[in-house]
Amino acid sequence: MTGGGGGIGRAIARRLAADGARVVVNDLDAAQARAVAGEIGGLAVPGDAGTARGIDDLIGAAREFLGEIDIYCSNAGTGGGRGPEEPDEVWQRVWEVNTMAHVRAARSLLPGWLDRGSGTFVVTASAAGLLTMLGSAPYSVTKHAAVGFAEWLAATYAHRGLAVHCVCPQGVRTQMLANSSRAGEVVLADSAIEPSQVADALAAALAAGTFLVLPHPEVRDYYVRRAADTDRWLRGMSRMQQRVEAPAESTGEPA
């Protein structure tokens, strides 16, 4: 479980443990990783999931602790950046955490899973990966890539026993949402849910074998509308962007 020290990751770790799993908790914040692992009787493996070394160390420690890795929750994510004006290093960091962390974990885990004919890979993406996220091009682009990679894994390896689940919530009451820009406030805040609700939705998807995990059911309708009439959907998003750009006082929102 990457990003397991808080927010969605902590909620999923708690839910998996409550359902009988032994959980390895990874987080960049070592104290938080240890706190969650101590709470659920798991193993803390602090480290940076946005690096190849961090993924290798996590999977190595998990194999030593568990013997076999049955479910891998590639949950760590990061925001940051607004648009193309951001320097390459900002784009690269978001890319490493939000996309390449999934690729590197799959690279390590797939050979063993395919040999034994079973394994479960959970990608925490975002509704931004199905739609878009106003205010942050790096986040939106890398979450689209995460969804695309999860889809590719499912299409390529389902017949060989790989189960893939792609978690795509909208706003969730986490520190990332609290730190978001005005776009986060306008687009996500009103419909934000608790991290435990995301964990519940994932548990249901694991039981049912469902690829797309939508803790906000309305996202399915938005996704359909986007595909059915993309130009109309983009016009609606443009209107939303104008709300984001408007001064808070002109929209009647708290300044």
Q: What is the mean pLDDT of each run of 10 residues along the chain (255 residues)?
A: 96 98 98 98 98 98 97 94 94 98 98 98 96 92 98 98 97 64 57 91 98 96 97 94 72 43
DSSP 8-state symbol, 134: T
Q: Tell me, what's the pLDDT at 254?
A: 41
Predicted TM-score (pTM) of this structure: 0.91
CA 138 to centroid of chain Cα atoms: 14
Q: Tell me, what's the pLDDT at 141?
A: 97
Q: Tell me, what's the pLDDT at 17?
A: 98
Residues recognised as catalytic: 139
Is residue 163 a part of any domain in this protein? Answer: yes
Is residue 222 a part of any domain in this protein? Answer: no
Q: Which tokens go with 67?
A: 């013997």
- Domain with residue 112: its CATH number is 3.40.50.720
Q: Which residues contact 248 (CB under 8 A, 6 or more apart)?
A: 182, 254, 255
Among 166, 165, 3, which residue's Cα sits nearest to residue 78? 3
Is residue 227 a part of any domain in this protein? Answer: no
- Which residue range forms the structural domain that includes residue 127? 7-217
Is residue 165 a part of any domain in this protein? Answer: yes
Q: Tell me, what's the pLDDT at 172?
A: 84
Total structural domains in the chain?
A: 1
C-alpha 110/C-alpha 11 separation (Å) is 26
Is residue 228 a part of any domain in this protein? Answer: no
Cα separation values, 41 from 18, 21, 22, 66, 213, Å? 10, 10, 8, 13, 27
Q: Tell me, what's the pLDDT at 255?
A: 35
